[in-house]
């Protein structure tokens, strides 16, 4: 007796809707087997998955009462109805398997089940067969409508298997990423620890030698100190980013004058600017100290990194301006230069760790691409934001904001520094 079409559509809709639900693939496949059995008025059903290595089929899903019997069984590609369906990539209905030499009877023996009739359709994924979906023992002959029903359910089963494959791939990738991240953290920690001691000795002895050697070797000793100091900065920058990412770094906030931080940074880089013939200016509203609760040491590092970049990539005769502004709920600090500028294609990536702008004009200045990533993580530790605007050949503007519940211009009770 043909199944009611409304019931058929409702059942298929329920199965389709369940595909997006949070159920495991085995439960979902079992619901598809149950639907196939019900809608085709069959006695049982199974889902076979093809194993490329062994060239055999394994049972991906079967009714619970056959599971133990066939869990380790295999169906050969050659000499089975499943193999014919798989190789020809089209459905096959057999009303009397006893008279068909393609029927593989060993599974019947294992499951203590007698297959009388069978309908098999291929499982298709990305245009190629990956398995076979079968229903067994309908009282009447299998019809074209039965084929359509089983093909529809087979399509849903293929989608479920694909989703499961993608989910497992994602989980595997996440696990690999965690392992790589752990190895990276261990490498940074060990390398930083092992480098600090010899580097400290190099700097100490080189500084001592500078006081002893004559002018003939002054340049060589200065080169040692300069490059050892640069290496020390690289180690500190790397560990700063890593400490933030691993949760090892904390913000120790207190009431600090951002105006004082700007003035101190300007004084620190005054000589560098003067040596390069660059005008270094600060613009802070008169009588505004820009008090805010922050970790002054970390914000000083941020501003120093931005200022060093600005001076490094600005040519003689250029200008660098540091601005501090008081907004209703935050303080903004801007470093604007008239330097080389940043190509539009590089601008979205400049805060990425180890990213360097590929240009003959910037590459000659060296660096590890860590200064801006350090600035970014330190501002984000304060709940703030940092961004850049730039036009190649005209200069760049870096801005960061520091949110705070209380910002004002009256000094706190205690000293800010």
* CATH code where residue 346 lies: 3.30.565.10
Phi-psi region of 36 (alpha: psi -120 to 50; beta: other; left: phi over 0): alpha
Q: What pLDDT score does 416 carry?
A: 38
Q: How many structural domains are present in the chain?
A: 3
Last residue of a domain, one of 245, 266, 296: 245
Same domain, 205 and 93: no
Q: Torsions phi, psi of 21, nearest 5?
A: -80, 160
Last residue of a domain, one of 226, 245, 264: 245
Same domain, 134 and 267: no
Same domain, 154 and 17: yes
Q: What pLDDT score does 381 carry?
A: 84
| Other CB atoms within 10 Å distance of the CB of residue 273 | 20
Give strand pairing partners of 324. Answer: 333
Same domain, 146 and 212: no
Last residue of a domain, one of 111, 144, 171: 171
Same domain, 298 and 165: no
Classify residue 414: in a domain, yes or no.
no
Same domain, 182 and 286: no
Same domain, 223 and 317: no
Classify residue 195: in a domain, yes or no.
yes
Classify residue 342: in a domain, yes or no.
yes
The residue range of the domain holding 227 is 178-245
Classify residue 277: in a domain, yes or no.
yes
Alpha-carbon distance of 267 to 263, in angstroms, equals 6
Same domain, 310 and 241: no
Same domain, 150 and 209: no
**CA-wise closest residue to 338 among 315, 358, 356, 306:** 315
Classify residue 416: in a domain, yes or no.
no
Q: What pLDDT score does 63 carry?
A: 86
Q: What pLDDT score does 324 carry?
A: 94
Same domain, 207 and 349: no
Look up residue 199 and give its two tokens.
Answer: 């580097």
CATH number, domain of 166, equals 3.30.450.40
Inter-CA distances, 302 with 64, 231, 370, 403, Å: 63, 18, 11, 15
Classify residue 386: in a domain, yes or no.
yes
Same domain, 232 and 110: no
Classify residue 410: in a domain, yes or no.
no
Q: What pLDDT score does 244 carry?
A: 56
The structure's pTM equals 0.48
Same domain, 335 and 397: yes
Q: What pLDDT score does 410 carry?
A: 46
Alpha-carbon distance of 20 to 362, in angstroms, equals 50
Classify residue 16: in a domain, yes or no.
yes
Q: What pLDDT score does 248 carry?
A: 52
Q: Torsions phi, psi of 212, nearest 5?
A: -100, -40
Q: What pLDDT score does 170 carry?
A: 80
Q: What pLDDT score does 157 carry?
A: 86
Tens of each residue's pLDDT in the chain, 417 residues: 455 665 666 666 666 666 555 567 788 888 888 888 888 889 999 999 998 898 999 898 888 878 888 888 899 998 899 999 999 999 999 999 988 989 998 998 888 889 999 999 999 888 889 899 999 999 889 999 889 888 988 888 888 888 777 777 787 778 887 777 777 666 666 666 677 778 878 888 888 887 787 777 788 888 888 777 767 766 766 666 555 555 555 677 888 999 999 999 999 899 999 999 999 999 998 888 888 888 888 898 899 889 998 999 999 999 999 999 988 888 999 999 999 898 888 888 888 866 666 544 444 544 445 678 888 888 988 889 999 999 988 999 999 999 875 444 444 444 333
């Amino acid at each position: 007796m043909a199944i009611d079409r409304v019931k058929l559509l409702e059942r298929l809709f329920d199965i389709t809707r369940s595909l997006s639900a949070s159920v495991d693939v085995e439960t979902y496949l079992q619901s598809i087997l149950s639907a196939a059995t019900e809608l085709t008025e069959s006695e049982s059903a199974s889902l076979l998955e093809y194993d490329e290595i062994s060239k055999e089929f394994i049972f991906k899903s079967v009714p619970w009462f056959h599971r133990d019997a066939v869990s380790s069984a295999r169906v050969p590609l050659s000499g089975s109805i499943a193999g014919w369906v798989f190789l020809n990539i089209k459905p096959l209905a057999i009303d009397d398997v006893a008279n068909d030499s393609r029927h593989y009877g060993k599974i019947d023996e294992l499951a203590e089940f007698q297959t009388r009739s069978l309908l098999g359709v291929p499982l298709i994924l990305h245009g190629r067969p990956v398995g076979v979906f079968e229903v067994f023992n309908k009282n009447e002959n299998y019809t074209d409508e039965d084929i359509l029903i089983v093909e529809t359910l087979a399509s849903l089963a293929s989608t479920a298997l694909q989703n499961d494959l993608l989910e497992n791939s994602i989980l595997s990738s996440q696990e690999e990423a965690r392992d790589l991240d752990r190895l990276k953290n261990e490498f940074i920690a060990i390398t930083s620890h092992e480098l600090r001691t010899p580097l400290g000795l190099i700097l100490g002895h080189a500084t001592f030698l500078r006081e002893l050697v004559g002018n003939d070797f002054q340049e060589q000793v200065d080169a040692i100190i300069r490059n050892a100091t640069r290496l020390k900065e690289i180690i500190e920058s790397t560990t700063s980013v890593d400490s933030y990412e691993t949760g090892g770094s904390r913000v120790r906030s207190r009431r600090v004058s951002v105006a004082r931080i700007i003035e101190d940074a300007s004084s620190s880089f005054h000589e560098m600017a003067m040596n390069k013939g660059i005008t270094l200016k600060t613009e802070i509203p008169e009588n505004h100290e820009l008090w805010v609760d922050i970790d002054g040491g970390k914000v000083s590092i941020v501003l120093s990194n931005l200022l060093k970049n600005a001076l490094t990539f600005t040519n003689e005769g250029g200008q660098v301006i540091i601005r501090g502004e008081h907004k209703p709920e935050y303080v903004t600090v801007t470093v604007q230069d008239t330097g080389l500028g940043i190509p539009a294609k590089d601008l979205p990536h400049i805060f990425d760790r180890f990213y360097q702008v590929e240009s003959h004009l910037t590459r000659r200045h060296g660096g590890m691409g860590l200064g801006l990533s350090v600035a970014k993580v330190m501002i984000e530790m304060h709940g703030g934001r940092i961004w850049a605007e730039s036009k190649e050949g005209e200069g760049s503007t870096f801005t960061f904001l520091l949110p705070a519940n209380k910002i004002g211009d009256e000094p706190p009770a205690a000293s800010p520094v």
